[in-house]
Structure 1
């Protein structure tokens, strides 16, 4: 079956992969490990644990790769904090550890692809970091020296070779990689099943309760009893506050443009601009006369752009300027990345002190790498082994490096609670165009109203079920997005992305009364109060 999706857009991966479907959980089960989330983080962890001989049950609210893995650009590249900042914040020793972990992650994926015979277009490539003059000069010489001292195989060049534009000086990171993420997940899922694993799709985890001896994962109708639980849902839904003050959700945008075959060298590119852009090639059909140039960037914090379609246009303008051979835009999609305040991801035991609940979050644009490292660390912890990377990726670590960003994010989050004091975005639901959404005022409450393409209205509470921020409309993905901690909801209120633990409450909206819902002269409510 085609991959499910958590938004309106479709990536090149969703359009070119078949992923297996599995039935929902229909009974209570007991197991050694329950993994929540069937993206690269969850499936990698489940597979590695099954290889250890562990009994593993994996569940997902939607399906294989239906979350953020299918929305990535699927490349393995150096940390987007770069080694200069890592050394500055954590020291030379930890910079070497991180460099070693990134290399191990690529090696592990390559070995899994080979041993399980997964056809996923895995390819070793060189990556290049460059700085165009108009984007501001960055000290690439220093990045080169620090990366080399950390053990990375790097080279300093005068320009990126093979391109039609002069990039100026660049750092070449050798032996990076890329692949087709959904084809990889499909192969990983079947390999996990062959090892005795169990997968249940359309099975949403609602809560986790227990102690260090036994945890119980509750779904809508059944329970999973497990000695250990791994929450691999891009951002954890269990941890209500602690983790979400240490990271922020950002949306990143990607286009796929048709280019003549062999007109762009096979490599990975990343610039240092603001906005920055990243580039790779995809070859959906090796027999075709064209390839897909994948270009991403134009990031913004989740919920802070109601109509982000212009970001695709900005990326396209940049791409056509630098790759004039580019033809039609075949794909447009966006995804969510969780940005830690201090750089490294959060991989390990769930804070503050849970010994048998683990999380993988804080991908920071390096999702394929960080999720694989997280699977390695957590497999070792559950197996009772130490891991040299455990400390630096510890989710309980204090934010020291990046404290300025940490404070800035908290101020930004708190500012959004002022949305409750603002009026609705439209006077009535009648003003909302087909295919669009807006916030309508109802007394002291706010209603998130979407009008579908047939003119029907869909109304839900605008109050995020995580910590109560007002959700904002995202016209590109047809979703309600929370600007506080990155939760996202479908037009019917169902959760698309955590940390929100439950759907937005349905609201009965009377169409005629809704025309006056935002009027000060209105003496009645447009909402059936019993529906709240």
Structure 2
């Protein structure tokens, strides 16, 4: 075994104290590496004193840039760079170089190292002048999900006056709406605000499986978190589904909610022996934490009629937008206030939290909850423990009765998933999803849709015509569980993020958990989802995901993707090198040319063009920008320069 591999293995089994120290060092490295203008200047030798930095870090970045493999790159990198006698060697080299930078945004360093009294609490809204004209969310991207085509977004006014409340909730997707609603039921005065149309964020791009089963598998969850916390995860996810069912019944919501079975079936490439081994492994893990599951034989999908499978009873599904529209209506009847198209651009923490919106109005709240898919109130601590992934989905007609109503997931990695939704007359809709990839690391959406359609038509030959195709983004955490609770270092600021492919259940759960933390001060599941956790077993995954930022760094050393903006056709985009600067240049589908800095305004990573959604994706932490540079998804809150 190489020294590099041994170091990674040692890190993965380190004590909690050692893991915490290493995580802090990686956070520091991420902050420093976010200052890419300074890095580019240093790496090109435009200022002196970077010999150690160039010798250690540049080979590492170039190794990353040339690597085509996404899985477990760290041993190769550490062998190539000779650095991994400990992460301290890497971060020390970065810090040594950073001490000479002159134009580095230092804001995020205070979050990791500075005393609270020294940490900046706000972002200057003067730099956001364009944001007020373009406030929107991912509803502004090119594709439209089946839910978006089937149901309109609820209307709400723009915030144009100051508001005082007990709790301000930022983000009106399933997490934000659930949190606001549960707090309103508990008698709190709540204001809910979104940067774009209500329900127009990633919630509108789901496939809406209400499955308490861990998205990454129960065996992986038990191995990562241990039996006690894994049991807490399962119990809490089940409670989230139960909560949705209770609200549907109490409010008589017509949203196609129903209980059904979930089936885990073999991937196309698996033989029967390997599929049986996987079933046995997941069955054993389920038994350890009290999950109801049964061995079975076959599912009604072509080629899998006699395959080893697992059946999980008592799963559920629904129409997410119809459900949330009803919750919003009842929330407003109970005195809750809702505002759309109002981006929060300035955050001031203290005994009370002050949130300034792009229109100039301020929300003053005793507590604030950031449910913005990726939190906009924290710069590094949470984002370094999550990774953004694009996932794809398609909806087709299917004659009712051809495929039994259930949830279906295969054993591939990344896996495919299938569900039904009731349609008119004798027709249902079948929704299939999969073909995931790291955000910003591929621009081949049409090819992925083609592969997805080929996969589902092979399993269901009687499939009808296509009704919709869309993509969304999920945030995978390093230990498979979301980050829901108090924002690290804050007593009255809370976050809900890291859906890990289970956004519907995590969102509903956030309503229960954060309600209890604000109203009662505690919740039995808070340790499962504590945002400040750093499980020792997840350290290798933590290192692996954060190497995306270092790999992205190398882009500042490489040529641009296009030679001239004149080469771009409508709908195309790319990175243009102009002297020492890189620009994100695209021509929208109407033929208008847009040119902005290629540096994401969160921590400076290079954005990448997404031709499917006609937006710029940041591969480091999941920010998304429209062709004109406006923010569509956080953690960035400033438009591209």
1:426-441 matches, within 5 Å, as 426-441=562-577
Which SS does the other structure have where 1:98 is aligned?
A: helix
* Residues in 2 aligned to 1:142 and 1:235: alpha-carbon distance in whole angstroms: 33
Partner of 1:73: 207
Pair 1:312-2:449 in alignment: yes
Pair 1:282-2:437 in alignment: no
Partner of 1:150: 289
Which SS does the other structure have where 1:239 is aligned?
A: coil
Partner of 1:472: 608
Query: How many residue pairs were aligned?
Result: 498
TM-score (norm 2): 0.76
Match of 2:632 among 488, 496, 499: 496
Distance 1:477 1:133, change over 3 A: closer
Q: Deviations over 1:377-397 (max 9, x none)?
A: 100000024211001110000
* Residues in 2 aligned to 1:11 and 1:4: alpha-carbon distance in whole angstroms: 11
* Residues in 2 aligned to 1:336 and 1:235: alpha-carbon distance in whole angstroms: 10
1:335-346 matches, within 5 Å, as 335-346=472-483
Partner of 1:24: 158
* Residues in 1 aligned to 2:267 and 2:577: alpha-carbon distance in whole angstroms: 47
1:207–1:218 contact (8 Å) kept in structure 2: yes
Pair 1:107-2:246 in alignment: no
- Larger mean Cα displacement after TM superposition, 324-333 or 83-92: 83-92
* Residues in 1 aligned to 2:605 and 2:237: alpha-carbon distance in whole angstroms: 36
Deviation at 1:455, TM superposition (A): 2.5
2:583–2:596 contact (8 Å) kept in structure 1: yes
Deviation at 1:274, TM superposition (A): 2.8
Give the RMSD, CA atoms, in angstroms: 1.5
Partner of 1:215: 353
* Residues in 2 aligned to 1:282 and 1:261: alpha-carbon distance in whole angstroms: 10
* Residues in 2 aligned to 1:407 and 1:233: alpha-carbon distance in whole angstroms: 25
Partner of 1:413: 549
* Residues in 2 aligned to 1:209 and 1:64: alpha-carbon distance in whole angstroms: 24
Partner of 1:519: none
Which SS does the other structure have where 2:291 is aligned?
A: coil
Partner of 1:521: none
Unaligned 5+ segments in structure 2 are 1-136
2:138–2:202 contact (8 Å) kept in structure 1: no
Larger RCO, structure (CA 8 Å, separation 6 or more): 2
Deviation at 1:438, TM superposition (A): 1.6
* Residues in 1 aligned to 2:399 and 2:446: alpha-carbon distance in whole angstroms: 26
1:342–1:403 contact (8 Å) kept in structure 2: no
1:44-55 matches, within 5 Å, as 44-55=178-189
* Residues in 2 aligned to 1:282 and 1:374: alpha-carbon distance in whole angstroms: 25
Partner of 2:196: 62
2:138–2:633 contact (8 Å) kept in structure 1: no
Partner of 1:15: 149
* Residues in 2 aligned to 1:126 and 1:51: alpha-carbon distance in whole angstroms: 31
Match of 2:232 among 88, 97, 107: 97
Match of 2:622 among 486, 489, 512: 486
Deviation at 1:133, TM superposition (A): 5.9
Partner of 1:523: none
Deviation at 1:7, TM superposition (A): 1.3
Q: Deviations over 1:105-159 (max 9, x none)?
A: 1110000111122211111111011223614545211311321332222111122
Q: Which has the higher helix share?
A: 2
Deviation at 1:330, TM superposition (A): 1.6
Partner of 1:528: none
1:379-398 matches, within 5 Å, as 379-398=515-534
Partner of 1:34: 168
Which SS does the other structure have where 2:420 is aligned?
A: strand
Q: Deviations over 1:70-129 (max 9, x none)?
A: 100001111112221222222222222112111111110000111122211111111011
Deviation at 1:347, TM superposition (A): 0.6
* Residues in 2 aligned to 1:227 and 1:150: alpha-carbon distance in whole angstroms: 38
Q: Which has the higher strand share?
A: 1
TM-score (norm 1): 0.91
* Residues in 1 aligned to 2:556 and 2:292: alpha-carbon distance in whole angstroms: 52
Which SS does the other structure have where 1:241 is aligned?
A: coil
Deviation at 1:4, TM superposition (A): 7.7
* Residues in 1 aligned to 2:562 and 2:173: alpha-carbon distance in whole angstroms: 38
